[in-house]
Amino acid sequence: MAPALEAQGGETLSQNSFLNSVGDVTNRSKVTVIGSGNWGSVASKLIASNTLRLSNFHDEVRMWVYEETLPSGEKLTDVINQTNENVKYLPGIKLGKNVVADPDLENAVRDANMLVFVTPHQFMEGICKRIAGKIRADAEAISLVKGMEVKMEGPCMISTLISHELGINCSVLMGANIANEIAVEKFSEATVGYRQNREAAERWVHLFYTPYFIVTAVQDVEGVELCGTLKNVVAIAAGFVDGLEMGNNTKAAIMRLGLREMKAFSKLLFPSVKDSTFFESCGVADLITTCLGGRNRKVAEAYAKNGGKRSFDELEVEMLQGQKLQGVSTAREVYEVLSHRGWLELFPLFSTVHEISSGLLPPSAIVEYSEKSPRSF
Amino acid sequence: MAPALEAQGGETLSQNSFLNSVGDVTNRSKVTVIGSGNWGSVASKLIASNTLRLSNFHDEVRMWVYEETLPSGEKLTDVINQTNENVKYLPGIKLGKNVVADPDLENAVRDANMLVFVTPHQFMEGICKRIAGKIRADAEAISLVKGMEVKMEGPCMISTLISHELGINCSVLMGANIANEIAVEKFSEATVGYRQNREAAERWVHLFYTPYFIVTAVQDVEGVELCGTLKNVVAIAAGFVDGLEMGNNTKAAIMRLGLREMKAFSKLLFPSVKDSTFFESCGVADLITTCLGGRNRKVAEAYAKNGGKRSFDELEVEMLQGQKLQGVSTAREVYEVLSHRGWLELFPLFSTVHEISSGLLPPSAIVEYSEKSPRSF
């Protein structure tokens, strides 16, 4: 099955300008992945398979690893470089011999002109400050980081943070991407959102694209990045529906209303956001994955089963072994933006999710409509 | 939670022109439901609660019932009229005292100006021929019938069949509507698709709308009706993914690609079809419901688990107790349209579903992309 329709929606990119310019060694792109967790390791594997295959990239992919000492006493970076395996965060998967783990952040980024950021979002500001002024002037960045902070005046996008702190262009890659499924090469898709630089987007697509990982580019950084965060609020709502055992019908309706609010919220904040972005992998597909599985859905289900009597904090500690829940805090941050701007009534699902998760309303409120008849214009 | 965003997408309809004109007895609308199966009975229940509440409708809702003799020896219509319950197709649910079962089709439709069609699609042509010329000149129709025939020259829409055979305007109502879940008043949504007559659409929305059944109208009959049929082809693909145990990631990707092809196919056949229709309940929500549960998904899962070695006909007989599978025949009909028009390559998912279900390809082909790199324009 060939992805023929990609050409009708999100753009697919011409290979002429890029691939046909057989890169001589001096101007080959050098890639560094900043982050080596579960998703960061899978991203390195995808990238490493392409830098070997495509002449426009240096074979070597440098991966910055936050150094840890393993129970064996060995350094994580040493083990990765000996075994080509991230034994702690992606055991059993070969990353490729051309992936080089580097514990020194500044050394890892020095020579790269393609920087791939894939760390927990709370570390991003510190990382940017450490490498500012120490990267190549012609460097381009892409962020795989989900869950930026939504502040009262609006969301603080990670791509914006990177651009401001480092003074470079930044794209994003989001989608229905469960790292462990992509690691074993199960078919999936992703969306690259770019601002203006189409050629850079083209390079990113070629860097990530494999026959089992189909990447499409759209000129809509904010739309793609907001999808990656707002879906977690909808996943909380979907979890409530599961906990209330209301069935697939109600769940599908809540997911649809959530997608509408994701679209409307994004477009109110950034008028440049495109409707079509929500039909891409970062939109409807990631929403489906997150509302079927995912930790936000799971904990919200437990919250509803307990009738809201046990707090999210308590359930998170009990159920997630130290992993953090993003949906609840994002819902609170979105709620602050909505009330700050007087938009609460326009976003009944987003605001109800926060009112339930903060204990103001019972879980059943997720489907309690105040309307007794169709609304007038 | 109020459906505030409806006003931003699918239209919500002003009540002024309709509800504020308190209908005097002579011009109250009279409703007849043609069909009394599972969904037809639930539709009658929804409608009956509104005709009692709203002064613009006659209280009585006539429901044509294909007469059957029950094991007890009683006639089904007699039992429905005595108990207000369709003991055979919706046991345990009160339809409302104002629902009158009528075994005589021509008598049932004679006085009605609002005709609700909800029968298996293979009976529609015969029913239309029987009542042609025997209905009110001012009658309006709405079709809840899913799964029209797709012929080589294009799909034969049920709404078109009704309009042609009866010479009246016909709207459609589709959505994520599992009858048994709506019967117990679980929250869900539906979409009314109308052609030109906005006032008629307004009447249909008010006739079906309840606080747990939110109805939105869009001026796009073909888009709404095609969603109701094409989703079953995508459900077959989703079932293959389930049978191959490829996980939520791959399933979400396949559902997204399916939604894209539903949209592209509908727009190629009917340029008037709107993208926004696919964000409505009839689009993304019905697709989700159908790909999570549903008989098409279920049998396709079994087909893939058996590596395609047992035919769909065989599995259908074994698994569906006489119910029929629509997705496989729709996939074949869509395939005929695609090959007839030279569009096969534009619709890899639709064509692959047929090639798998007809035994030409193994189930795993659903995720075997022929592309080795991004496509050029």
Q: Are residues B54 and B91 in the same domain?
A: yes
Q: Which SS3 state, helix, strand or coil, does residue A283 take?
A: helix
Flag whether pLDDT at A274 surpasses 70. Answer: yes
The model's confidence at residue A122, banded by pLDDT at 50, 70 and 90, is: confident
Q: Are residues B57 and B140 in the same domain?
A: yes
Which of B219, B246, B274 marks a domain boundary? B219
Q: Quote the minimal CA–CA distance from A119 to chain B in Å.
A: 21
How many domains, chain A? 2
The model's confidence at residue B168, banded by pLDDT at 50, 70 and 90, is: very high
Structural domain harbouring A76: 8-219
8 Å CB contact of B246 and A13: no
Instruction: For residue B377, tell me if it sits in a domain.
Output: no
- Low-confidence winner among A10-14, A69-73, A174-178, B335-339 (lowest mean pLDDT): A10-14
Is residue B196 within 8 Å of A259, Cβ to Cβ?
A: no
8 Å CB contact of B253 and A279: no
Q: Is B129 on the interface with A (CB under 8 A)?
A: no
Q: Are residues A149 and A264 in the same domain?
A: no
Across the interface, of B250, B259, B376, the residue whose CB is closest to A186 is B250
Q: Are residues A60 and A177 in the same domain?
A: yes
Instruction: For residue A377, tell me if it sits in a domain.
Output: no
pLDDT computed for residue B1 by the predictor: 62
Instruction: For residue A1, tell me if it sits in a domain.
Output: no
Q: What is the pTM of this model?
A: 0.91
Q: Are residues A157 and A229 in the same domain?
A: no
Q: Are residues A183 and A242 in the same domain?
A: no
Instruction: Name the nearest CA neighbour of B180 among B295, B281, B66, B92.
Output: B92
Give every CB contact of residue B161 below 8 A, 6+ residues apart in sequence. Answer: B124, B125, B128, B148
Which of A169, A190, A219 marks a domain boundary? A219
- Low-confidence winner among B15-29, B36-50, B153-167, B305-319 (lowest mean pLDDT): B15-29
Q: Quote the minimal CA–CA distance from B305 to chain A in Å.
A: 17
Across the interface, of A186, A206, A261, the residue whose CB is closest to B247 is A186
Q: Are residues B86 and B208 in the same domain?
A: yes
Flag whether pLDDT at B14 surpasses 60. Answer: no
Q: Is A8 on the interface with B (CB under 8 A)?
A: yes
The model's confidence at residue A361, banded by pLDDT at 50, 70 and 90, is: very high
* Cβ under 8 Å to A: B residues 281-300: 281, 284-286, 288-289, 292-293
* Cβ under 8 Å to A: B residues 216-275: 246-253, 255-257, 259-261, 263-264, 275
Q: Are residues A260 and A206 in the same domain?
A: no
Which of A219, A234, A259 marks a domain boundary? A219
Instruction: For residue A139, tell me if it sits in a domain.
Output: yes
- Indicate if A263 belongs to the active site: no
* Cβ under 8 Å to B: A residues 184-203: 186-189
**CA B252 – CA A221 distance, rounded (Å):** 22
- The answer to whether A295 is annotated as binding is yes
pLDDT computed for residue A368 by the predictor: 84
The model's confidence at residue B5, banded by pLDDT at 50, 70 and 90, is: very low
Distance set, CA A248 to CA A255, A353, B178, B297, B372 (Å)? 10, 19, 8, 14, 37
Q: From the candidates B16, B38, B187, B361, which should be mutated to test the interface with A, based on the most A CB atoms within 10 A?
A: B187
Degrees to nearest 5, angle at CA A83 with A82 and A84: 105
Q: Are residues B202 and B227 in the same domain?
A: no
Decide which of B377 and B374 is more confident: B374
Residue B179, domain CATH: 3.40.50.720
Across the interface, of B256, B264, B348, the residue whose CB is closest to A8 is B264
Helix axes A348-357, A327-341, angle to 10 degrees: 120
pLDDT computed for residue A231 by the predictor: 96
Q: Are residues B168 and B297 in the same domain?
A: no
Q: What are the residue numbers of the active site of B?
A: 231
Q: How many CB atoms lie within 10 A of CB A106?
A: 12
Is residue B118 within 8 Å of B94, Cβ to Cβ?
A: no
**CA A295 – CA A327 distance, rounded (Å):** 9
Instruction: For residue B197, tell me if it sits in a domain.
Output: yes
Residues of A in Cβ contact (< 8 Å) with B275: 275-276, 279
Instruction: For residue A14, tell me if it sits in a domain.
Output: yes
Instruction: Name the nearest CA neighbour of B142 among B204, B80, B187, B98.
Output: B204
Q: Is B348 on the interface with A (CB under 8 A)?
A: yes
**% of chain B exceeding 70 in pLDDT:** 89
Is residue A146 within 8 Å of A228, Cβ to Cβ?
A: yes
Q: Which residue has the tokens 């470079």?
A: A168
- The answer to whether A82 is annotated as binding is no
Q: How many CB atoms lie within 10 A of CB B110?
A: 15
Is residue A356 within 8 Å of A366, Cβ to Cβ?
A: yes
Altogether, the residues listed in chain A come to a count of 377
8 Å CB contact of B371 and A3: yes
Residue A315, domain CATH: 1.10.1040.10
Which residues are registered as beta bridge partners of B75? B69
Flag whether pLDDT at A226 surpasses 90. Answer: yes
Residue type (1 letter), A316:
E
Q: Is A70 on the interface with B (CB under 8 A)?
A: no
Residues of B in Cβ contact (< 8 Å) with A253: 176, 187-189, 214, 281, 285
Q: Are residues B65 and B199 in the same domain?
A: yes
pLDDT computed for residue B349 by the predictor: 96
- The answer to whether A326 is annotated as binding is yes
Strand A170-174 relative to strand B213-218: parallel, antiparallel, unpaired? Answer: unpaired
Residue type (1 letter), B313:
D
Across the interface, of B15, B186, B206, the residue whose CB is closest to A250 is B186
Altogether, the residues listed in chain B come to a count of 377
pLDDT computed for residue B122 by the predictor: 86
8 Å CB contact of A212 and B369: yes
- The answer to whether B372 is annotated as binding is no
- Low-confidence winner among A112-126, A128-142, B312-326 (lowest mean pLDDT): B312-326
- The answer to whether A146 is annotated as binding is yes
Q: Are residues A153 and A291 in the same domain?
A: no
Q: Mind giving me the DSSP string for B238-278?
A: HHHHHHTT-HHHHHHHHHHHHHHHHHHHHHHH-TT--GGGG
Instruction: For residue A212, tell me if it sits in a domain.
Output: yes
Instruction: For residue B272, tell me if it sits in a domain.
Output: yes
8 Å CB contact of B181 and A249: yes
